[in-house]
Amino acid sequence: MTYMINDGNKEFKNLDINAWDMLIECKDTLIKILETHTNQYEENGMERFNKDGWTNLTFKSGSIRRAHIDVVDARETKGLWMMHLCIFPSLSNPGPIYGFDVICGKNKVTGAFHDFSPLLLKDHPLTKWFCENAKWYEPSKKRELPEWALKIFSSGMIAAGNVTTQEEMNDICKLAEHNLDYYLRNINDYHSTADENDVKKAQNFYSLNQQKNPHTPKVMESLGLPQEDIKLFCRDNLFPVV
């Protein structure tokens, strides 16, 4: 079966995809969008986690407190590739947190997760926009969310597994890219509209629940990263509290 995708007039076939190539292109596009709207900076302590096969970049702007993209390239050693992108608004901004995570082998994605996770307002305009505009995408296989995740993610949160077609891979990448650009273009509208202590409490609640995810260190271990680095990274750099 052949699928036609309405983006750049690309034609994809439902067979033997190379998910790595598609996701690496997606990663490059996400970084370009971040560079358009924010400024890259060197986060204290992050230099330890930039080495062969492991890249961590951080960005910020007037309305973004911290944007972090984390890529582990273990294609040659483990046959796996992982990307994590999480964006926290400034502490005076009650807007949602942008999140996108994906892990994949050569020909399929085992997990892809995407959300505009609400903080102070469960029906924040950006979260409502996300939920409405992501309805068109229906995962071929939905991933069940654990209790800790249900506490922090939106009702429209995307959790996909066993993605094996170029059509669905393209859908996931275009969602992440389009939504990142929309998020960064609009998050400033809510700058300085909330109490900093309230936002800090809500962002820390998000981070502390993310730290409960037992799969994160297991995945990083499966990618061949050192145990000591994993422990420090998950505690201090992946979802740090403020």
For 68-109, the pLDDT digits (tens) are 999 999 999 999 999 999 999 999 999 999 999 999 988 889
Asked whether residue 8 is domain-assigned, the answer is: no
Contacts 24+ apart (CB under 8 A), 1-7: 3/165, 3/166, 3/167, 5/167, 5/170, 7/170, 7/174
CA distance 56 to 63: 21
Overall domain count for the chain: 1
Residue pair 199/119 in contact (Cβ under 8 Å)? The answer is yes
| Residue at 205 is within a domain | yes
Determine the average pLDDT of the residues in 119-131.
Answer: 96
Provide the H-helix boundaries in 1-93: 19-37, 75-78
Residue 235's pLDDT band, with cuts at 50, 70 and 90, is: confident
**pTM of this prediction?**
0.91
Contacts of 71 (CB under 8 A, 6+ apart): 27, 54, 55, 56, 81, 82, 83, 84
Q: Is residue 11 part of a domain?
A: no
Whether residue 8 has pLDDT greater than 50: no
Residue 226 inside a domain? The answer is yes
Question: For residue 115, what is the domain's CATH number?
Answer: 3.40.1500.20
Angle formed at CA 203 by CA 202 and CA 209, multiple of 5 degrees: 90
pLDDT attached to residue 95: 97
Which one, of 60, 30, 32, lies nearest residue 46 by Cα?
A: 60
Is residue 207 situated within a structural domain?
yes
Q: Kindly state whether residue 29 falls inside one of the protein's structural domains.
A: yes
In this structure, the dihedral spanned by the alpha carbons of residues 183, 160, 153 and 6, taken in order and rounded to 10 degrees, is 20
Encode 164-212 in three state secondary structure. Answer: CCHHHHHHHHHHHHHHHHHHHHHHHHHCCCCCHHHHHHHHHHHHHHHCC
The per-residue pLDDT for 9 is 36
Instruction: For residue 87, list its beta bridge partners.
Output: 67, 98
117 touches 75 (CB < 8 A): no
CB 119 within 8 Å of CB 93: no
The answer to whether 239 and 210 have CB atoms below 8 angstroms apart is yes
When pLDDT is cut at 50, 70 and 90, the band that residue 225 belongs to is confident
Would you say how long the chain is, in residues? 242
Provide the token pair at 21.
């190539």
pLDDT of amino acid 4 = 25
Token code pair at residue 137 = 């995408």
Domain that holds residue 31: 16-238
Q: Has residue 45 been placed in a domain?
A: yes
Q: Give mean pLDDT, residues 42-67.
A: 95
Q: Is residue 43, in this structure, part of any structural domain at all?
A: yes
At 148-163, the pLDDT tens digits run: 999 999 999 999 999 9
